Structure 1
Amino acid sequence: MRTIVITGGTDGMGAALARHYLRGGDRVAVIGRSRTKFEALIATVSGEDPSAAARAEFIAADLSLVGDARRVVDRLSAGYERIDALALAASFIRQRRHATAEGHEASWALFFLSKYLFVTGLAPLLRAAERPVIVNTAVPGARPDAIDFADPEMTSGFTFKRSNAQQRRANELLGILATGDNPGLSYVTWGPARLVRSGFAGEVGTGMRVTAAVLGTLLGQPSESAVRPIIHLIDAPEPGRAAYRGAAKLALPAGDHDEKDALRLAAAVEAGLSSNG
C-alpha cells in the first residue's frame, strides 16, 4: 500500500486524485480547508469500497499560513514512515497583494513557501520510499529572471503577472534543491494542457471569474480527465527533474545560474521565514 499526500485535496484536480488513489487501495492524506468537502469525497468513494474511509486522513489547514504548513509537516512526519507521492495542488487565486496575519504575501506563501516547507520538511519520508515522486502543479516555463531575490514577497511593484511568474520560477528551482538532496526523487512541475472544469477558488474581479466560468464550461475538461497524466507520473516515476503540460513532456528551462539561484532562493526563504517567526 502506497502513501499519497495531496494538498488541495478536497477540490478540483486534488479531489480527483484523492478519489483515484483511494479507489486503488492506497492510503491517502488529504490536506484542505473543508472537512465537509472531505466527508463528501469519502462518502462517494466508500459507496464503492467501504475500506476507503479507513485509508484516508484529513488534515485541515490554510496553506497560505506558514504555521499551518509547518503543523501539517510535523503531523505527517509523526504519523507516517514514508511518503511515496506528494501532489502539491492547493490553489487560491488573488489578483492583488494580500498580507496574511503572519506578515507574508498570501500568494507567495500558498504557491511557494508552503511547498518549500513540504518538500524540505518531508524529505526524510520521501527518501524512505522506493520510488518517490513530487508532482508540483506549477505551470513550467517561467523566465530565469522572474524572481526578485531582494524582495520575494513583493512589498513594492506587485502585479498578478509578476507574482505568477515568480512563483513558477521558484518552484522550478525548488526541484533543483529537492533532487540534489535526493537523486532518486522524481520532481515534476506540471500544468494542464487546457482549461479544467472545476470550482474557481480565489479573490478576483468579476471579469476574471465570469471568463473562467464561461470558458471552463465551454472548453474545460473534467478534473478526472485532467489528472490522468499526473496519475501516470505518480505510477511510473523517473528519477530527476521534469516538466509537463498535460501528457506532453517539455524541455526544462535551463540557465547559466540555475544552481546558484536555487541556493540563493533557499537562503532568501530561510531568512524570510526566520524574520517572520
Structure 2
Amino acid sequence: MKTVVVTGGTDGMGAALARHYLRQGDDVTVVGRSQAKFDALVAALTTEGAPSIAERAHFIGADLSLIAESTGVVEQLKERYERIDVLILAASFIRQQRHVTAEGHEASWVLFFVSKYLFVTGLADLLVSADRPVIINTSVPGTKPGAIDFDDLESARTFSFARSNAQQRRANELLGILATRDPKVSYITWGPSRLVKTSFAGNVGPAMRWASALLAPLIGQEPDKAVQPLVALIADPPGGRSAYRGAKRAPLSEGPDDEHDISRLATSVRIADAGN
C-alpha cells in the first residue's frame, strides 16, 4: 500500500488521481478547500464498491494561498505518516488580478510556489523514507531562465497574469533542484498534453471563462484520461529531475544561475514564513 498526498484533490486532475489511488487500495490524503467535494468523491467510490475507503481516505481542509495553513498541513502530515511515497502538488485557483491575502502576500505566488516549496522541503524526510518517492508538480514546464524578477517576486510593482504565471512556473522547475538533492527522489514538472475538462476554479474575467466553457467540451480531455500518463510515471519514476507534457518528455529549461536562483527563492520563502 502506497501513501499518497494530493493537494487540490477534490476537483479536476487532482480528484482523478485521488480516485485512482483509492481504487488501487492505497492510503490517500486529499488537501483542499471543500469537505463537501471530498465527501462526494468518497461516497461515489463507496457506491462503486471500493474496499475500506473510510480507513484509507483522509481530508485536510486548507487554503494553500495562506502560508500558515500550508505549514499547518505539513505538520499534520508529519504526525500522520512515517513515509510518503507519492506527493502530488495539484492545487489551483486562477486569478487574473493581483490579490493580497490576510497575511499580506500575493495569493497566486503563495499558492502556486510558496506552498509547494513548504510541502517539498517540509516533507523531505518522509519522502526519502519511501523506496521510490515521487513528487508530481502540475506546473506546466518550459518557461525560460530569467523569467523571475527577484526584486518583485509578488508582483507588487508590476502585475500581469502572464508574468505572474511565468514566474511561478520557472520557480517550480527550480524547486526540483532542492527536491532531488537526495538521489532517491523523482521530481516531475508536468502539464497535460492538451486542455482538460475541469470546473475551472478561479477569479477570472468573462473572456477567459467564456473561452474555457466553449473549448473544453470540444477539445478537452476528461480528467481521468488526462492523468493516465502521470499514473504511468508514478508507477515507474524516471529518477532525478524531469519535465513532461502528457506522456512526452520535455526539455528542462536550464540556466547558468539555477543553483543561485533556487537559493534566492529559498531565502525569500524563509523570510515570508518567518513573518507569519
* 8 Å CA contact 1:30, 1:57 repeated in 2: yes
Q: Which residue of 2 aligns with 1:151?
A: 152
**Aligned residues: CA RMSD:** 0.8
The yes-or-no answer on 1:81 pairing with 2:82 is yes
> Structure 1 CA distance, aligned partners of 2:192 and 2:51?
32
Output the amino acid matched with 1:66: I
Q: Distance in 2 between matches of 1:123 and 1:24?
A: 25
Paired residues of 2:140 and 2:190 also in contact (CA < 8 A): yes
Q: Name 1:260's counterpart in structure 2.
A: 260
Assess if the C-alpha contact under 8 Å between 2:25 and 2:51 holds in 1.
Answer: no
Q: 2: distance between equivalents of 1:104 and 1:235?
A: 37
Give the corresponding residue for 1:42. 42
| 1:176 matched residue in structure 2 | 177
1:164-243 to structure 2, matched below 5 A, reads 164-180=165-181, 182-243=182-243
**Aligned equivalent of 1:113:** 114
Q: Which moved more, 1:257-266 or 1:4-13?
A: 257-266
Shift of 1:273: 2.4
Separation in 2, partners of 1:206, 1:253: 33
Tell me which residue corresponds to 1:131: 132
CA contact (8 A) 1:244 1:250 kept: yes
Contact 1:177 1:263 in 2 (8 A): no
Q: Structure 1 regions of 5+ residues with no counterpart?
A: none
Q: Which stretch of the first structure deviates more once superposed, 15-24 or 149-158? A: 149-158
Count of residues paired in the alignment = 275
The C-alpha deviation readout for 1:218-240, integer Å capped at 9, x for no partner, is: 11000001000111111111220
Distance in 2 separating the partners of 1:258 and 1:202: 31
Q: What is the Cα deviation at residue 34 of structure 1?
A: 0.7
Tell me the amino acid that sits aligned with residue 64 of structure 2: L
Matches of 1:208 and 1:226, distance apart in 2? 21
In structure 2, the CA distance between the partners of 1:272 and 1:151, relative to structure 1 (3 Å rule), is farther
Flag structure 2 segments of 5+ consecutive residues without an equivalent: none
**What's the TM-score once normalised by structure 2's chain length?**
0.98
Within 1, Cα distance between the matches of 2:269 and 2:83?
Answer: 26
1:101-131 superposed Cα distances (whole Å, 9 cap, x missing partner): 0011000010001000000000010010000
* Distance in 2, Cα, partners of 1:12 & 1:272: 30
SS of alignment partner, residue 196 of structure 1: coil
- Does the Cα contact within 8 Å between 2:145 and 2:170 map onto a contact in 1? yes
**Which residue identity is paired with 2:225?**
S
Q: 1:147, 1:269 → 2: CA distance?
A: 14
Q: Secondary structure at the match of 1:221?
A: coil
Paired AA for residue 32 in structure 1: G
Percent identity reads 61
